[in-house]
Amino acid sequence: MTIRVLLADDQELLRSTFRILIDSCDDMEVVAEAADGAEAVELTRNHRPDVVVMDIRMPGTDGLAATAAICGDPELAGTRILILTTFEIDEYVAQALRSGASGFLGKDVSTSTLLAGIRTVAAGEALLSPQATRTLITRFLNTPEPGTPDLDAVQRVPVDLAALTGREREVMILVAEGLSNAQIAEKLFVSPLTARTHVHRAMAKLEARDRAQLVVIAYRTGLVSW
């Protein structure tokens, strides 16, 4: 299955470079390019890509506002956002997570890391290292923003958590610690497919858009503590 990618960056040279790189892969293709956030939202609605590689600082509507618009649209639930930016500061990362982004990378990453990141996000996993996850979620918990979709979800959690099986809670804790499906499978002595199934069931029950929101819920409800 080919991963359909939309590039959103105000630098045409970077978009062209990324397009060549991505189109050179057998399992992915660039379906559209946007020079600003507003165009990114419009093209996402038109092309329904699997992943949007989104810059933050763009003229007019920036990448964070565009991410919020895309992730807040139920009709675009199948699209994941990978933030790719020069400005790797905590405030941007936290806001990107609040907006619904599934991953965050700096533009100085290697070619292999970028391609692996697109594949990771397309598969529904959060692209954050264990240390980055703990650091950012701690900051996120200390600066909640009322009215965000993930906070509304957390307000329903007392009932939702009761619906989780013991194994789903265990898997959710491991996800919050930054483990991948393969690492969870190894730790619990189950197959990667079984681990993935438990993760997706937990996400469905908690109405979490992706693993990033599952991590947020785990910390906010006290299932995992810093």
Instruction: Note the pLDDT tens digit of each residue in 101-115.
Output: 888 887 888 898 899
Domain boundary residue among 127, 144, 174? 127
CA 60 to chain centre: 23
Q: Model confidence over 14-47: pLDDT tens digits?
A: 999 999 999 999 999 999 999 999 999 999 999 9
- Examine residue 226 and state whether it is found in any structural domain, yes or no: no
Q: Are residues 99 and 86 in the same domain?
A: yes
Query: What are the structure tokens assigned to 111, written together?
Result: 């070619």
Read off φ and ψ for residue 62, nearest 5 degrees: -85, 175
Give the position of tokens 């939702």. Answer: 160
Q: Are residues 50 and 119 in the same domain?
A: yes
What's the pLDDT band for 146 if we cut at 50, 70, 90? very low
Residue scoring higher pLDDT (95 or 144)? 95
HSE toward the beta carbon, residue 149, CA cutoff 13 A? 23
Domain match, 213 and 166 both:
yes
What digits encode the pLDDT tens for the residues 166-201?
999 999 999 888 787 888 999 999 998 999 899 999
Check residue 74 and report its DSSP letter. G
Q: Is the Cβ–Cβ distance between 64 and 56 less than 8 Å? A: yes
140 and 35 share one domain: no
Kindly state the average pLDDT of the residues 198-221. 84
Structure tokens at 59: 């003229």
Q: Which amino acid appears at position 81 of this protein?
A: I
According to the model, what pLDDT value does residue 131 have? 47
**Rounded CA separation 66/38 (Å):** 6
Q: State which residues form the domain around 139.
A: 132-220
- The number of folded domains in the chain is 2
We report the CATH number of the domain holding residue 36 as 3.40.50.2300
